[in-house]
Amino acid sequence: MSASSFFANRTVVIASMHRKEEAIAPLLSAALSVQTLVPEAFNTDAFGTFTREIDRPDDQLATARIKAEAALTLTGETLAVASEGSFGPHPQIPFVACDRELVLLCDRTHQLEIVGESLSTETNYRSQTIHSLEEAFAFAKAAGFPQHGLVVMRTSEPTFKEAPKKAPKEVLAKGITTEADLVAAVKMALAEAESLHIETDMRALYNPMRMKAIAQATQDLIQKINQCCPQCHFPGFTVVQRCPGLPCRCCGAATLLTLSELYACQHCGFQHTQSFPDSLKFADPGQCFYCNP
């Protein structure tokens, strides 16, 4: 039994209204022999907007789950995919912006949930307070405009690093992809105030870089689906825990590098510990607290 026997010829509902199916559907159809369906009248903005008019109901994973469940309820189908992106400083390199994308598969028939993930530094995610049309053009150029869309807001909107949840909700224009629309929005804002807030539009259909990251997360999802449990053969036999402690090559002390990974099956509960997942038996002394304090 392979993963495709669980999904072949079924319909996957893609819970998106921002054309994410362009990134997700071709990959899933090819890998799992499924049909895809994008529900009409499915308003994902109800589950949070990047421009913060509506807050996300929960964390990234829980929100993806809520969207998938809502799409299943709406369509009466049994298989759905939802994706959720999150932007901010890279966890290891704080001054670099990154895009963490999750693509979640929810299968009601088999009671399965499998999550693909990608972490990409290839993102134009940025925001700025500006005072002139020239500054708007400079921002637009750096953000990959007009292939990537922009959002113009009133100045009372703080930048991303200041608690965005508390931000007032005053979008003047979003999905800006033409110079004429950009000029009009900036002029409108500058007629009201000395400065305005400009940011990248992170919705998938306005952001080809994000679309690429969603495709990468979908590839990761497919890989995880194809990892089947050695005992019951259900798809999605994935890592649930990483244990640090890879010994230093020089002194043998435990380092923070991964020593082993624990795989678990969500269907039968079978577990397997994989030692040395990165094919390394020892850590470089540069990673050791004692050899390189």
Q: Which is nearer to Zn ion, 17 or 265 (CB)?
A: 265
The window from 31-39, 168-176, 239-247, 263-271 that contacts Zn ion (CB under 5 A) reads: 263-271
Among 171, 183, 188, 291, binds Zn ion (CB under 5 A): 291
Among 36, 195, 231, 260, binds Zn ion (CB under 5 A): 231
Number of residues counted as binding Zn ion (CB under 5 A) = 16
Q: Which of residues 63-122 bind Zn ion (CB under 5 A)?
A: none
Q: Which is nearer to Zn ion, 87 or 234 (CB)?
A: 234
Q: Which is nearer to Zn ion, 277 or 285 (CB)?
A: 285
Least separation in angstroms between CB 270 and Zn ion: 4
Q: Which is nearer to Zn ion, 83 or 266 (CB)?
A: 266
- Residue 83 pairs in a beta bridge with 103
Return d(Cα 197, Cα 277) in angstroms, integer: 46
**254 belongs to the binding site for Zn ion (CB under 5 A):** no
In the stretch 28-57, what mask flags binding to Zn ion with x, by CB under 5 A? ------------------------------
Q: Which is nearer to Zn ion, 110 or 126 (CB)?
A: 110
Q: Which is nearer to Zn ion, 78 or 231 (CB)?
A: 231
Q: Which is nearer to Zn ion, 206 or 234 (CB)?
A: 234
Least separation in angstroms between CB 68 and Zn ion: 22
How deeply is 32 buried, as exposed, middle or buried, from its count of CB atoms within 10 A (0-12, 13-18, 19+)? buried
**282 belongs to the binding site for Zn ion (CB under 5 A):** no
Return the HEC string of the chain: CCCHHHHCCCEEEECCCCCCHHHHHHHHHHHHCCEEECCCCCCHHHHCCCCCCCCCCCCHHHHHHHHHHHHHHHHCCCEEEEEEEEEEECCCCCCCEEEEEEEEEEECCCCEEEEEEEEECCCCCCEEEECCHHHHHHHHHHCCCCCCCEEEEECCCCCCCCCHHHCCCCEEEEEECCHHHHHHHHHHHHHHCCCEEEEECCCHHHCHHHHHHHHHHHHHHHHHHCCCCCCCCCCCCEEEEEEECCEECCCCCECCCEEEEEEECCCCCCEEEEECCCCCCCECHHHCCCCCC
**267 belongs to the binding site for Zn ion (CB under 5 A):** yes
Return d(Cα 254, Cα 264) in angstroms, integer: 25
Among 96, 138, 232, 243, binds Zn ion (CB under 5 A): 232
- If we measure between CA atoms, which residue out of 226, 287, 235, 234 comes closest to residue 257? 287
Q: Which is nearer to Zn ion, 151 or 283 (CB)?
A: 283
The window from 133-141, 178-186, 232-240, 256-264 that contacts Zn ion (CB under 5 A) reads: 232-240
**250 belongs to the binding site for Zn ion (CB under 5 A):** yes
Least separation in angstroms between CB 172 and Zn ion: 53
Which residues in this chain contact Zn ion in the complex, by CB under 5 A? 229, 231-232, 234, 248, 250-251, 253, 265, 267-268, 270, 285, 288, 290-291
